Structure 1
Amino acid sequence: MKYHFFLLFILFSVFGFGQKSKIDLKAIEKNLKNPDSPYNYDKLIFKYKGYPKSLDSIEAQHLYYGRNFRNDKIATSDERFKSLAEAFKQSNFEECIKLGKALYDKDPTNLDVLLILLRSYDSLKDGTNFMHHLNQLRTLTDGIKSSGDGKTEKTAYLVNSIGDEYILLNILNIGKEYTRSSKPSRNGMFDIWEKDGRQIYIKILYLELTN
């Protein structure tokens, strides 16, 4: 969707790429559900909502990739999200904040919701809420960036959705001059973005929920 491109991603350009770590999705699922784990969902989401800058890359990865194992996340096909997107399209930012806060309460690590809230708070000159959600977005996208280096299939960046892929592309400054090819893979789909012989691999995850 077009609103993925609105944010001033120059804000991200000053942030380097941290240490890359192999994503173990089974371990993430187990840790999030384990009340004794330091990566338990309730413990992490408490830190994320209160002080997102306190999360390290492993904690951020648990929150971001852990969305694949939750059955309460808000999809872009959800009527509630469509109402939010329509309010954003009409530049009704007060309504965006009202609807967005309700969806944020249900799905606080949803990048689509965070982006719309960011634009809305920015438009209404609410710097405090803008910076808080920006720090949350930075935390989650830093988790994505630390999932790989994008140079090979084995070290591809991992994203949860096509929408998140385009957010990552903006951060990586990959634009229209790149060509895309795709190929299926286990539990996902590879998109290969190429320009002048340089290739960047991004894997979109398609996972089944485990109950």
Structure 2
Amino acid sequence: MKYHFFLLLIFFSVFGFSQKPKIDLKTIEKDLKNGKSPYNYEKLTFKYKAYPRSLDTIEAQHLYYGRNFIKDPVLTTDPEFKSLAEAFKSNNFQDCIRQGKILYDKDPTNLDILLILLKAYDYLKDGDNFMYHLSQFRALTDGMKSSGDGKTEKTPYLVNTVGDEYILLNILNLGQDYTRGSKSVKDGILDIWEKDNSKVYIKVLYIDY
């Protein structure tokens, strides 16, 4: 079976949630650190790795936004990630998987790492691993999409990083014909993507409390 990576991303982009639960980052942080909470980080991570398709919206949001509170997340500026990105650019997909697995173990909800692993498994026609990580990717991005409707300044989509913002733009099928305006807001930067009379609001989080 041949897996068409980017077509699948577009396909899954049409799925969304009708409910838009309000994101409370302080509550998420508290839940993740509480061993008795059903949203404890270790409990959620176990479920995410073992049964990614079983995650509900709240669980996915805790995992996605919880990256702001984990210790030593993998950053795109880290030498290890740069090495992974270089292997990807060189189409060395076997090495992508080797390096990607190591970084995935450190930071399993990192969308950049998941995307590289997906592309590598797609190229190597490894359907089982591709679908496994696609389920994880879909859960996290669905959690991200359910953070708001992106229609107003008060209901923006919330993303952890600029890289995640571009992943979301791809999922929403917003192309280069949109222009971006930005302004500083509480705990982040609000980007306004505009085309004709259409506007999409995305807030990149900068948490400092």
Instruction: Give the TM interval when normalised to the shorter protein.
Output: over 0.9
2:16–2:145 Cα contact (<8 Å) kept? no
Distance 1:61 1:52 in 2: 13
Q: Structure 2: which amino acid aligns with 1:7? A: F
**Offset of 1:11 from its aligned partner?**
2.7
In 1, Cα distance between the equivalents of 2:34 and 2:18? 27
Aligned residues: 204
Q: Which runs of 5+ in 1 are unaligned?
A: 1-5
| C-alpha displacement of 1:207 | 1.0
| 1:40-189 correspondence to structure 2 within 5 Å | 40-189=40-189
Q: Which amino acid aligns with 1:69?
A: F
* Contact kept? 1:13, 1:171, Cα under 8 Å: yes
Instruction: Classify the secondary structure of the residue corresponding to 2:6.
Output: coil
What is residue 18 of structure 2 aligned with on the other side? 18
Quote the Cα distance in structure 2 between the aligned partners of 1:100 and 1:79: 13
Mapped contact 1:177–1:195 kept (Cα < 8 A): yes
What one-letter code is carried by the residue in structure 2 that aligns with 1:45?
Answer: T
What secondary structure, in the 3-state scheme, does the structure 2 residue paired with 1:177 have?
A: coil
Between the aligned partners of 1:16 and 1:54, the Cα distance in structure 2 is 16
What is the deviation of 1:122? 0.4
Question: What is the percent sequence identity of the aligned residues?
Answer: 71
Given that 2:161 and 2:204 are in contact with CA atoms closer than 8 Å, whether structure 1 keeps it comes out as yes
Is 1:7 the counterpart of 2:6? The answer is yes
Q: 1:89–1:53: structure 2 CA closer, same or farther, 3 Å change rule?
A: same
> What do the CA deviations read for 1:93-112 (whole angstroms, capped 9, x no partner)?
00000000000000000000
**Structure 2: which 5+ residue stretches go unaligned?**
none
Matched-pair contact (CA < 8 Å) for 1:162–1:204:
yes
Superposition deviation, residue 72 in structure 1: 1.9
SS at match of 2:125: coil
Could you tell me whether the CA contact under 8 Å between 1:7 and 1:119 is conserved in 2?
no
Q: After TM superposition, give the deviation of residue 7 of structure 1 in Å.
A: 3.3
Name the aligned partner's letter for residue 27 of structure 1: T
TM-score by length of 1: 0.94
Q: Distance in 2 between matches of 1:70 and 1:18?
A: 29
Alpha-carbon contact 1:159-1:203 (below 8 Å) kept: yes
Question: Who is 1:3 aligned against?
Answer: none
What per-residue deviation string (whole Å, max 9, x for no partner) do you get for residues 127-155 of structure 1? Answer: 00000000000000000010000011110
Give the root-mean-square deviation of aligned CA atoms.
1.1
Contact 2:93 / 2:123 at 8 angstroms: preserved in 1?
A: yes
Q: TM-score, normalised by structure 2?
A: 0.95
Distance 2:32 2:163 in 1: 24
Preserved contact between residue 68 and residue 160 of structure 2 (Cα < 8 Å): yes
